Amino acid sequence: MKRAIPVLVLSVAGLIPLWRYTPSHDSGSTSSSATEAAAPASTPSASSSGGTATTVVSGSTLDTEKGPVQVEVTFDGDKIASVRMLQQPNHPQTTAAVPKLIEETLQAQSADIDTVSGATITSDGYKESLQAAIDARG
């Protein structure tokens, strides 16, 4: 019994760094804010199908400390019909957050959406890229 307590304490102490570890895919950048990359939002491409115009616009690519973020928005007339991630960080929180961000975008029909807890950096990059796509459409 005298050995069990120190073994338990040391085991937990050894696991703490593992629990706190988050892989980083940046290239040495320590900035915590998203910075816009050189790639601006693309120009809209439109097609007409039965009276309503469908427009696909790519947002700006934003380099975040977790990795690049870029969205592509499909507009059906004035309505946001779908959003697709062209670039996203390879991170578990991002993978879980993207469907929530897209769902909120389709409900709000704007970039004025809530940040997903645990994926703040990706959420901020997503919203900036989304707003750039909305602005590029006009």
Residue 29 belongs to a domain: no
pLDDT above 90: residue 51: no
Structure tokens at 33: 């804010």
Position 43 in a domain: no
Structure token digits, residue 2: 């005298």
pTM: 0.65
Task: Establish if 47 belongs to a structural domain.
Answer: no
Would you say residue 80 lies in a domain?
yes
CA distance 68 to 80: 23
Q: Please state the φ and ψ torsions of residue 98, each to the nearest 5 degrees.
A: -55, -50
Q: Residue 26 has what pLDDT?
A: 41
Q: Where does the pLDDT of residue 25 fall: very low under 50, low under 70, confident under 90, or very high at 90 and above?
A: very low
Domain range enclosing 104: 54-137
The share of the chain scoring above pLDDT 90, in percent, equals 46
Q: What is the CATH number of the domain that holds 69?
A: 3.90.1010.20
Instruction: Supply 99's token pair.
Output: 């469907």
As a whole number, the mean pLDDT across the chain is 79
What total of structural domains would you count in the chain?
1
